[in-house]
Amino acid sequence: MKMTGSVIKYGDNVDTDVIIPARYLNTSDHKELASHCMEDIDKTFAARVKPGDILVAGWNFGCGSSREHAPIAIKASGISLVIAKSFARIFYRNAINIGLAIVESPEAADAIAEGNVITADLDNGVLHNETTGQDYAVEAFPAFIQTIIENGGLVESIRNGSIR
Amino acid sequence: MGMTMTQKILAAHAGLDKVEAGQLVLVDLDLVLGNDITSPVAIKAFQQMGRETVFDKEKVTMVMDHFAPNKDIKAAQQCMMCRDFCGEQEITNFYDVGQMGIEHALLPEKGLVVSGDAVIGADSHTCTYGALGAFSTGVGSTDMACGMAIGKAWFKVPAALKFELKGKLRPYVSGKDVILHIIGMIGVDGALYKSMEFVGDGLASLTMADRLCMANMAIEAGAKNGIFAVDEITKAYVKAHSDREPVVYEADADAVYEKTYVIDLSEIGHTVAFPHLPENTKTTDEIGDIPIQQVVIGSCTNGRLEDLEAAAKIMQGKKVAKGVRCIVIPATQNIYLEAMEKGYLKTFIECGAVVSTPTCGPCLGGYMGILAEGERAVATTNRNFVGRMGHVDSEIYLASPEVAAASAITGKISAPEEVL
């Protein structure tokens, strides 16, 4: 899995209530959710995000509510990868289950700045900062999770019988 | 090396003699839960999986509680989708308006969870049932769909933190103060990916309502689950609510805990979490005058009968301060009825509060108490994130029912002793 994109950066403890406020949870329409993504911490996000962009954040990204609408809104916004110092656990599994790529790297999350262009090679576990020339090593997913991702998420894994 | 309570439950449900932290396991589930917000997404995923029927119609439950009674047309459509699905699938435990309550208060009350169970719910506060000595954790809608389809979920076996409780709570201090104190101490990611296991002599002074409240907020420390050692209080509760036989798992003497915290309950004061994180805690004696405009007493954290009783005792014969809107929400129909019979609802209404039908409503900024710009609320709920209860420039102070009730009377954040 490889992607290149420019970075939009946030701080620590970005919770799912700000990723997608509950007042918009009366729908599960992906585009509509994307149109309100991040609006309670960054009203400019929906307008400026471009397909392929990479979201970078601090500790405990996605904490709070289990709403899968949060990774769905991020993915539907066009974000190709989220890099954070750490992820809240429900967000982490939701992202994997719906096929939103995520990596944990305190080092990269610290060093990468807003607007940097990053190329991520997740198979080989390398993030390359095109803007600064720096490389950051990241851990590959455990085999079990790799199976889910290779099958295109949990829904497809169940449908094709690779998990039963 | 021994296993923790959580590890033992996971091992038993994965058909293994032994598991250790970090191991990935596929676990058989005793119950799969969803609500009116998360279930529609799960139903769509379930249909995409190509399954015709759920794995067990007795072991899937849906509760219409977040935006129900329907707050708007879209919410009504979502509830209809759940209702239709549960009808087609002949789901036994579908709870609609009239039978429903806030899910995490309702399920223990209905006896759907007992000690030793493994439960997932597409709601982050599913960790509540750890109070019963069960493994239960919040997941997303796709995990819920997978659970509905095959009755299993994958987990990484968590490492654990031990909280050894001793001593006895002071008067007007309750489980909410304890868990806010703990989150203040370890932070909102202090237990990230881990179990929080509560043990010790101090358990004897904690009611089931206290324990349910504490396990409920384990997620606010980032935990995978919170779980209490089972004692006579748990056994009596389970027996009173369920025909199913509980299974008691005790941690091994040599179970591995990353850290043990010893907490003297008698040292805990009235604790309030300031905006905008549950870890921003202070005790009421550390704060000055903070005027408020709204009080919410309810939620899956603190909408139980004991919570309403504590609030009613403080508010009895007094008046809600001018300029304060006090909203009381019994968490289930049963609690509502009992609170009525015991006179608590009369107390609230006479004192100038309003009493709502069970709903999650205001806790997540859905409806039934949204905050305007610049307003402050004291809430017995579980999250005080930016914009959680309304306008992005409003503020939520999380507190116990005792502090919330006292604050409603004084119009500022107050210790119960100020009005007694």
The string of pLDDT tens digits covering residues B302-344 is 999 999 999 999 999 999 999 999 999 999 999 999 999 999 9
Domain count, chain B: 2
CATH number at residue B161: 3.30.499.10
Can you name the residues that pair with B156 across neighbouring β-strands? B24
Whether residues B203 and B222 share a domain: the answer is: yes
B250 band by pLDDT with thresholds 50, 70 and 90:
very high
Sheet holding B93-95, edge to edge: B93-95, B60-63, B31-35, B118-121, B135-138
B419: in domain: no
**Same domain, residue pair B203 and B64:** yes
The C-alpha atoms of residue A68 and residue A100 are separated, in whole angstroms, by: 11
Quote the percentage of chain B above a pLDDT of 70: 100
Cβ burial of B317 (10 Å; 0-12, 13-18, 19+) is: exposed
Structural domain harbouring B23: 5-265
Question: Of B265, B283, B306, which one is at a domain's C-terminal end?
Answer: B265
- Dig out the tokens for A76 from the structure: 């539907």
d(C-alpha B234, C-alpha B108), whole Å: 11
E strands, B157-220, are: 160-166, 195-199
Is B88's Cβ below 8 Å from some Cβ in A? no
Please judge whether A90 and B138 are an interchain contact, meaning their C-beta atoms are less than 8 angstroms apart. Answer: yes
Is residue B418, in this structure, part of any structural domain at all?
no
* More confident of the two residues A157 and A30: A30
Residue whose structure tokens are 């759940």: B82
Q: A22 and B366 in contact by Cβ < 8 A?
A: yes
Q: State residue A163's pLDDT score.
A: 74
CA distance linking residue B387 with residue B395, whole number of Å: 8
Residue B278, Cβ neighbours under 10 Å: how many? 25
What does the pLDDT look like over B212-247, one tens digit per residue? 999 999 999 999 999 999 999 999 999 999 999 999
Q: In this structure, what token pair is assigned to residue B57?
A: 């119609």
- Quick one: B186 and B248 in the same domain? yes
- For chain A, the residues whose C-beta falls within 8 A of a C-beta of chain B are 13, 15, 17-18, 21-23, 25-28, 40-41, 59-60, 63-69, 71-72, 86, 88-90, 93-94, 97-98, 142, 144, 153-155, 158-159, 163-164
Residues B179 and B86 in one domain: yes
What mean pLDDT comes out for the span B276-298? 98
Q: Which of B45, B75, B224 shows the shortest C-beta gap to A26?
A: B75
What's the confidence (pLDDT) of residue B312?
Answer: 98
> Which H helix or E strand runs over A6?
strand A2-9
Among the residue ranges A32-36, A86-90, A146-150, B149-153, the one predicted with the least confidence is A146-150
Peptide bond into B275 cis (omega under 30): no
Kindly identify which residue of chain B lies nearest to residue A58, measuring between CA atoms: B189
Tens-place pLDDT, residues B379-396? 999 999 999 999 999 999
Q: What integer best gives the mean pLDDT of chain B? A: 97
Verify that B217 and B307 share a domain, yes or no. Answer: no
B397 falls within a domain:
yes
Beta-bridge mates of residue B93:
B61
Do residues B255 and B332 both lie within one domain?
A: no
Which of B214, B243, B265 is the last residue before a domain boundary? B265
Q: Are residue B237 and residue B354 in the same domain, yes or no?
A: no
Contact B399, B269 (CB under 8 A): no
The domain A2-159 having CATH identifier 3.20.19.10: the answer here is yes
Q: What is the pTM of this model?
A: 0.96
Of B231, B265, B299, the domain-final residue: B265
For the complex shown, is ipTM > 0.95? no
Based on the domain organization, do B289 and B373 belong to the same domain?
yes
Q: Which residues of B fall within a CB distance of 8 Å from A59? A: 189
At residue B239, the pLDDT reads 98
Q: Which one of A67, A86, A89 has the shortest CB-CB distance to B37? A: A67
Check B154 against A144: CB less than 8 A apart.
yes
**The predicted structure's pLDDT at residue A157:** 85
| In-domain check, residue B100 | yes
Q: In sequence order, what are the beta bridge partners of B273?
A: B281, B398
pLDDT band at A63 (very low <50, low <70, confident <90, very high): very high
